[in-house]
Chains A and B, each alone.
Chain A
Amino acid sequence: MKKFFVLFFFIIFTVLMFSFSYHAYRFVIEYTKDKQYTRYEEVYYKDGDKIVFVKIPRRIIWVKLGDKYYMGTSDKLKLCPPIKDLEDIFLEYANSHGISLDFNGEITISEKAFTLKALKIDGLLRNVIRKFEDVITEMQYIYTLSNYTFNEILQNFKFIDKSEVPQSIYNIFNLFLWFNVEYEDDVLKVYAIDKDGENILLEISDKSGDYQVGEYYLTILESSDKTREEILNEISSNS
Chain B
Amino acid sequence: MKFDDEFYTKIINIFARRINYTPGSLLEEKIISQIRRRKRFNITKIFVVMAIVVIFVTVVVFSNLNTVNQRSIYSSYENNNIQEVPQKFEPIIDISLVSDGF
Q: Which residues of A contact B (CB under 8 A)?
A: 28, 30, 34-39, 41, 52, 54, 56-58, 60, 62, 71, 73, 78, 80-86, 88-89, 130, 137, 139, 163-165, 169-170, 173-185, 188, 190, 204, 206, 215-216
Give CA–CA (A81, B94) in the complex, Å: 12
Q: Scoring B residues 48 to 83 as 1 if CB is less than 8 Å from chain A, else 0, what string do you get?
A: 000000000000000000001111111111011011
CB-CB under 8 A from A185, the residues of chain B are 83
Q: Which residues of B contact A (CB under 8 A)?
A: 68-77, 79-80, 82-83, 85-86, 88-89, 91-102
Decide if A182 touches B99 in the complex (CB within 8 Å): no
Which of these, A137, A179, A182, contacts B79 with CB under 8 Å?
Answer: A182
A-B contact count (CB 8 A): 131
Decide if A174 touches B85 in the complex (CB within 8 Å): no
Q: How near does chain B come to A134, taking the closest CB pair, in angstroms?
A: 15
Select from chain B the residue with minimum beta-carbon distance to A92: B102
Which of these, A60, A130, A169, contacts B94 with CB under 8 Å?
Answer: A60
Q: How near does chain A come to B36, taking the closest CB pair, in angstroms?
A: 51
Give CA–CA (A137, B74) in the complex, Å: 11
Q: How near does chain B come to A92, taking the closest CB pair, in angstroms?
A: 9
CB-CB under 8 A from B98, the residues of chain A are 39, 41, 52, 54, 60, 62, 71, 83, 85
Which of these, A36, A84, A175, contacts B71 with CB under 8 Å?
Answer: A36
Select from chain B the residue with minimum beta-carbon distance to A87: B100
CB-CB under 8 A from A34, the residues of chain B are 68-69
Which of these, A60, A82, A89, A137, contacts B97 with CB under 8 Å?
Answer: A60
Q: How near does chain A come to B66, taking the closest CB pair, in angstroms?
A: 12
Q: List 22 A-B contacts (CB under 8 A).
A: A36-B70, A37-B73, A38-B70, A39-B73, A39-B98, A57-B77, A81-B95, A85-B98, A86-B101, A89-B100, A89-B102, A139-B100, A164-B88, A165-B91, A169-B92, A173-B95, A178-B99, A180-B74, A182-B75, A183-B79, A183-B85, A215-B88
Which of these, A73, A178, A216, contacts B102 with CB under 8 Å?
Answer: A178
